Structure 1
Amino acid sequence: MRVNADFTQRVAVHFDQTEWVTTPAAGVERKMLDRIGNEVARATTIVRFAPGSAFAAHTHEGGEEYLVLDGVFQDETGDFPVGSYVRNPPTSSHTPSASEGATILVKLHQFDPDDRTEVRRSINGGGDIDLFTDAHENVQVQSWAAGERIELDASNGIEVFVIEGNFSEADEKFGVWDWLRLPPGSSLTAVAGEGGARIWIKSDHLGSMI
């Protein structure tokens, strides 16, 4: 399976314009943002867990990172409420579930194979937050003020995901849970909406994909 797999192209996915797709796990649905592979895939996905749903135990050979958007996500290591950012490095394993339901943004099989860094932190409370940086990628959350013009380097590619508020880029408006990916060699120029915006950003990671 290949979804938005040409990393030389700009890609925009709007949450409200994308259908939920069932998964092999009962009560778990997803909206695919990009994907190369079938059930074991390099993937960026919004995943929704119905109350009481779970995935079988599995190992993430290529690593997993996720941001909890709604509800409480769970595994053997604890409960992760809205605003939790987690990195499970390559070779880690768990049994994910959501007793009361949850929605997450998750990225799979995109880590440096030698990365063994675990991250467990909250993005709640506002302000800019540096979540993770190494030689291969930079992950952060930025808060943009109302009407602020933002210019970001995307020379090695960039992904932006709207947590709160909205912004415009190239005359296209992005609202809550919308996602934009720009290819290497780009730059991002965005203008925050009237209420400002809170944005999850990953950069410097797509050069190896083209």
Structure 2
Amino acid sequence: MLINADFSLRATVTPTDYRWVASPQPGVERVMLDRVGEEIARATSLVRYARNSSFPPHQHPGGEEILVIEGVFSDEQGDYPAGWYLRNPPGSSHSPRSRQGAVILVKLCQMHSEDSQSVRIDSGDPLNWNFVGGRVTCTLFSGNNEHVSM
């Protein structure tokens, strides 16, 4: 499956374009923003968890980045309300779920194979924001020729 797969081109997806598609797990839907591959893919998606929905334990061979947009997203490491950024390195695994429901932005299979750093950052904490280069930013990750910030 190829969705917005030419990364040299700008892609715009507005809320009126959203097409929520059922995932393999009941109560979990997604809007595919970009995708190269089938169920295991390099992908960027909005994922919506209904109340008390979950995924069974699974691995992320190419890593995973999550930004919690709404509700509370949970896994074995904790509960993450809106504003949290999670970075699970290649080879990591987890059992994601949400008791109250959540909407998250997820990026899969886009990390350097040698990346081994797990990250948990609350972007709602003012201490995580700094004035850098004339702007206020929240650095989420920096390493392996990659810099992620808000």
> Could you tell me the TM-score, scaled by structure 1's length?
0.65
Measured in 2, the distance between the counterparts of 1:74 and 1:16 equals 28
Distance 2:93 2:87 in 1: 12
Deviations 1:71-129 (A, max 9, x none): 00011111011111000001110000001100000000001001001110111146421
Whether 2:132 is the aligned partner of 1:123: answer no
How many equivalent pairs are there? 141
Runs (4+) of structure 1 exceeding 6 A deviation are none
**SS state of the match for residue 16, structure 2?**
helix
Deviation at 1:34, TM superposition (A): 0.3
Unpaired segments of 5 or more residues in structure 2?
127-135
Helix, strand or coil for the counterpart of 2:139?
strand
Does residue 44 in structure 1 map to residue 53 in structure 2?
no
**Larger % of strand: which?**
1
> In structure 2, the residue corresponding to 1:16 is in which secondary structure?
helix
1:137 aligns with 2:124: no
Is the 1:68–1:85 contact (alpha carbons within 8 Å) kept by the matching residues of 2? yes
CA RMSD of aligned residues (A): 1.1
Stretches of structure 1 that go unaligned for 5 or more consecutive residues are 142-210
What displacement does 1:138 show?
Answer: 1.4
Equivalences for residues 61-210 of structure 1 within 5 A:
61-125=61-125, 127-141=136-150
- Superposed CA deviations along residues 140-191 of structure 1, whole A, max 9, x for unmatched, are 01xxxxxxxxxxxxxxxxxxxxxxxxxxxxxxxxxxxxxxxxxxxxxxxxxx
**Which residues in structure 2 correspond to 1:14-53 (within 5 Å)?**
14-53=14-53
SS at 1:29 equivalent: strand
